[in-house]
Structure 1
């Protein structure tokens, strides 16, 4: 392979991407770069402006102009970071989330139209070629945080949540099939009857496969949401996936108008507890119990969504 081969491919692929944005309608009224910023904010609800600039490799002045426009359009809110007042935390407003979701939907539709021109028998070959390019050009780097995508569940994902929860907790903590029964019940109740405006499931995807999940559902207490079934695959830990999933739940619950966010966990799940604490959850009660074939200490945690996140 020569430099000219790579440049020729780049020209070809640039034309493909340009064709997706037909007549500049795909991201209208925002540019491709502005849409990338919206996407990043939608998937990282607790992002500082400095993080955006670094992650997207944008000039500080250019990013500032984009954020100024978003603020004028009512898409974002900017407040000083509690950790460092010199930094600005950027979060999407409900209108911003709606806009980001609309742009993502248009992008999915455009890519779907492109893929419809590829014979079904060749799509796996195309997918494998894309993975090969990514793998070879990132040789030795390994997956990074930017390679993880948070998305809504697709066909088979709810079953995956049940299967992986049962398998992982059996392997790591020795829990029996009673836990699988509990998870299956939670997932089935969500699948059968959930409010899309107040309840949601996230799947974390890496290299085309699910590696994590979390759920936000309405609690029995009025004005309260419940975080459930946080899970990250062992080989995907260390990429901040658990933190992003919890951030997504907190941001969603706050934008949906809940006053409180609660969760139930067990004291043996130390990594998850540390994530909850970083997001401002406080322990409100704990009680020993025998469940899933083990003696455990159950814990109730709560986050007041009316307070400024730490």
Structure 2
């Protein structure tokens, strides 16, 4: 028996939640009008959104790696999901096949009809009460859950220049002692580049976690000349470092490089950033030059990496 100190509201919410779970089919039998498990249905919906890997599914659905692997193996075997290679051969994106798209269309149709039928039984205006209540409760339940998955978005967005400058200034102040001079150079370079973003050989990407910008990368296809791409302003926020966001950004940028037919990609960085160097080398970059530099406010060993067209 529940303690008398627990408010009745808590028990009523628990009872309603159990009923909701049973009525939606989570306890067994047909779910969403078909024979797929709830986790497989949710996986198809997330894959439909695009740019999702197996690791992303684990985070989004709160599933163990082994559970995701088993589920995806069944969906791939049934011909509803395929794996697509990226610039990094070790990372594969998931996509729906035509059969998968048809299956998901049927799921959406069933679920929409199910919701519409239930709402039709309510009094006018009660549908909005249901919506507001579910949104509030879901948000409260997820308050301590893992943060949203990182998404990569191409193109300029409001606040991007300022946010990239901030991430660079804070990171390099801690790791290299850079200050006002470095921040001014970053901001000035970004301002000039933003004016050329409408040209087809230039592009920029942001890593987004919800509505927060947590990373960036750009390809400047004009400043080096000679059909060379310049990889610039590659950084991730501390909150997502080690999550794969940097790899996602680099994949996007190098995919653009290949599509544009650049012969080589150059980047400059500093010695001591071992994680970044490992990522560059894993993507085919090679160290070709080192030299001391003092133009950033303190002396560092600058490094030039080059990746030739494959």
**1:202 partnered with 2:217:** no
The alpha-carbon distance between structure 1 residues 218 and 8, as it changes in their structure 2 partners (threshold 3 A), is: same
Query: Which residue is 1:272 aligned to?
Result: 276
* Shift in alpha-carbon separation, 1:257–1:130, aligned structure 2, 3 A: farther
Please give the secondary structure, in 2, of the residue aligned with 1:272. Answer: helix
Q: How far apart are the structure 2 equivalents of 1:288 and 1:241? A: 30
Q: 1:65 aligned to 2:67?
A: no
- Are the structure 2 counterparts of residues 168 and 128 from structure 1 closer, same or farther at C-alpha, using a change threshold of 3 Å? farther
Separation of aligned partners in 1, 2:280 and 2:140: 37
> Does the 8 Å contact 1:34/1:66 carry over to 2?
no
The equivalent residue for 1:147 is: 149
In structure 2, the partner of 1:5 is 17
Counterpart residue number, 2:129:
none
Deviation at 1:275, TM superposition (A): 1.1
* SS of residue paired to 1:211: strand
Structure 1: distance between partners of 2:23 and 2:255:
39
Task: Give CA deviations for 1:82-109 in whole Å, capped at 9, x if unaligned.
Answer: 77xxxx96799xxxxxxxxxxxxxxxxx
2:162 to 152, 159, 165: 159
**239-248 vs 164-173, which deviates more?**
164-173
In the TM superposition, residue 283 of structure 1 has moved relative to its aligned partner by 0.7
Larger-gyration structure (1/2): 2
Identify if the C-alpha distance between structure 1 residues 130 and 205 changes in structure 2 by more than 3 Å, giving closer, same or farther: farther
Q: Deviations over 1:252-294 (max 9, x none)?
A: 2112222211101111322211211111100111111212221
1:218 deviates by 0.8
Secondary structure, aligned partner of 2:178: coil
Give the CA deviation at 1:227.
0.9
SS at match of 1:134: helix
**CA drift at 1:176:** 1.8
CA contact (8 A) 1:286 1:298 kept: yes
Q: TM-score, normalised by structure 1?
A: 0.61
Q: Deviations over 1:185-207 (max 9, x none)?
A: 22112211224532221111224
* Number of residues of Structure 1 aligned to a counterpart in Structure 2: 230
1:193 aligns to 2:201 (yes or no): no
Relative to structure 1, is the Cα distance of residues 134 and 181 closer, same or farther in structure 2, using a 3 angstrom cutoff?
same
Aligned runs of 1:73-152 on 2, under 5 Å?
Answer: 131-136=139-144, 138=145, 142-143=146-147, 147-152=149-154
Report the secondary structure of 1:186's partner residue. Answer: helix
Q: For structure 2, which runs of at least 5 residues remain unmatched after alignment?
A: 1-12, 25-42, 56-64, 96-132
1:40 paired residue among 40, 51, 58: 51
Tell me if structure 1 keeps the 8 A contact 2:271–2:300.
yes
Q: Structure 1, residues 19-77: CA drift from partner, whole Å, max 9, x if none?
A: xxxxxxxxxxxxx94882571269x9xxxxxx9x9479434454673567xxxxxxx97
Measure how far apart 1:160 and its partner are: 1.1
**Which moves more between the two structures, 53-62 or 207-216?**
53-62
